[in-house]
Structure 1
Amino acid sequence: SQPKDIGNGYKAPFSTLFEQVGLHKILSLLESEDANVRIHAVKVVANLAAEETNQQRIVEAGGLTSLLMLLRSFEDETVRRVAAGAIANLAMNEANQELIMDQGGISLLSLTAADAEDPQTLRMVAGAIANLCGNDKLQVNLRTEGGIKALLGIVRCGHPDVLSQVARGIANFAKCESRASTQGVKTGRSLLIEDGALPWIVQNANNEAAPIRRHIELALCHLAQHEVNAKDMISGGALWELVRISRDCSREDIRSLARRTLHSSLTFRSEMRRLRIEY
């Protein structure tokens, strides 16, 4: 679900250039003094990174380090947008996700999210963070290095494609967190709730854009599966959304998941009795 359309139609000559000059040469052009050369080189790398077969080679040749350096150097928006897109593509690979974290990528993406204004840049950054949110091992780092806050900051953009990536990140994070709680690895309230994501989640649970709505419905169900989140969810208005999802969601699997989740929580059941909600 991460868009790969990063190169603005430059795809055809890229593989040829790649074959002619080799990966190391292309990566060295990322550090060129000439801005046009840098932009062209980063587009080549981004398009190569869209192909799974190239991802490991790019990382092994030092491409990830170079791309993160481009984000760090506060270059012009085009370079940062395409670099973020390349990182998003590399972040589809689980081994690369940990390398991105080890090289300070979460903090850099978070800083880029705070600075960027262009919706395409924000979509790429949100897509990269969303991919990282799907990795169980990165949960704590995503929180401490500002990843969740960055996603919540990106919603200022309001563009549906950007919000869809934010929603995907939140759903990925909630799913991993739920799994960790079930396995006893994680205790205590959801980090999403701790970082203030619940109001946005509730607000977008019935978003008119189907991709956003689906991600958020799943995120709510994952959060609701753990009793420790129930009180916050009730005070934040999430219970009403779960009831609505259990009745009205067009997808039977999500409706059924919401129903089961409501039934399995003592706190939700007692609140629904108090409010005389039939379930």
Structure 2
Amino acid sequence: MASPSLARNHQRSDRRTLSSTGGGGFSSGKKSAAARISAAAAPRVLIEDDDADSGRVRVAVRVRPRNDEDLYYDSELIDCLELQPETVLNGYNGTVMAYGQTGTGKTYTIGSLGNDNSSERGIMVRALEDVLAEISPGLDNLSISYLQLYLEAIHDLLAPDKNNIALTKDSKSGEVCLPGATVVEISDIDQFLQVLQTGERNRHASNTKMNARSSRSHAILVVHIQRSSKGKDENEFLSVNINNSEEFPHMSAFFKSKLLIIDLAGSERIDESGVDGQMLEEAKFINLSLNSLGKCINALAENSTHIPTRDSKLTRLLSDSFGGNARTSLIITVSPSARHYSQTSSTIMFGQRAMNVVNAVKLKEDYDSESKYRKLECQIDSLTSELEKQQKDKLHLERRLYEREMTLAEAENKLFEAEKKLAVAEEKPAATSELDWWASTVGNPPTCARFPSSGSVS
């Protein structure tokens, strides 16, 4: 399934420019620093077509602002993202995340609401447009939570009084969950935009030398989808559609999936951003969490036996996205300014390492209570039949074993009798041969001595 809303993003022009403090823009007649690095590193859409169903992390580069040369990468951004709506609609977890230096357009790419111009909408809005267009009202359910990770505490952007949401793992699935977060059911895109606007008003942002509106927290949109196999596109489920299964007839399956869309706060150098006081404290926590994420990516890319996911709440939040069971798309945003060459290079290196991470993508299938009961009954019947078959097979094998043992015993008896007869036959020829020798050499063979009978005279 294509993603028309995400695809439309490729058609729009982008007129964003660097702020006066953000760098010198493009040098006339020369490639930007980001273009030179990305051309050398070539991270683009880092997955082959025949691996499209694998769990490998997909990575795309985005340069802000862009010239005609950089517009080429927009098609790669769409290739990186277009599978995500289809992924979650078919029962798999998905993640879209933007990573990069502060001021390079992460929030614009991910969270732009496009209030004045719908063509300026970011990935959050476009992804929800695609998902809402496919789900069936009355059969399917879509709900969201919107949170921020600020100073190593998880805040609920839809309920500001909830400023320390617990982060746990589901006891059954092992997935990350946030049990205290506000959950809002969404039925259309206008309702979603209203909820998103509420969350944006509560998000921490400040003016720095690097960015007029610098995000001081990591924003996390959690989209929960429960989709019935009885929806309008039942054939999409193919082999996983249990309604057509001969083994479990009349089962009513549904698919539970989760889409994370994450706008990370940007890494920043304190001497360049010029922050102090509270903003300095925010910058320290941001950099520490991003550093922890980098360590986890390195460990996963190298297949290390220890992944330090517990070093920060950010890495715990992303444990399903990197090394877990989600299909993950990573957008790395970079500055075209030569002034930021070092951080641009570091960002692209992060993307290159991330593309070596392979997740174990897994379908999330469940059943309603009645169907669960029927399925268990079918499983019990199936196991009972299998047990009866195995018991019959066991009796048959035991009977055959007994018959063979009896045949073997009879054969052994016959062999014993034959050996006895053979021994007797061998002794008789030996005795006959001795008598013949006496007759030929001495005369008549010796006989027993005869004694006179009692009373006779000699």
Bigger fraction of residues in helix = 1
Taking structure 2 as the reference length, what is the TM-score of the superposition? 0.19
Taking structure 1 as the reference length, what is the TM-score of the superposition? 0.28
Bigger relative contact order, structure 1 or 2, given CA contacts below 8 A and separation 6+? 2
Bigger fraction of residues in strand = 2
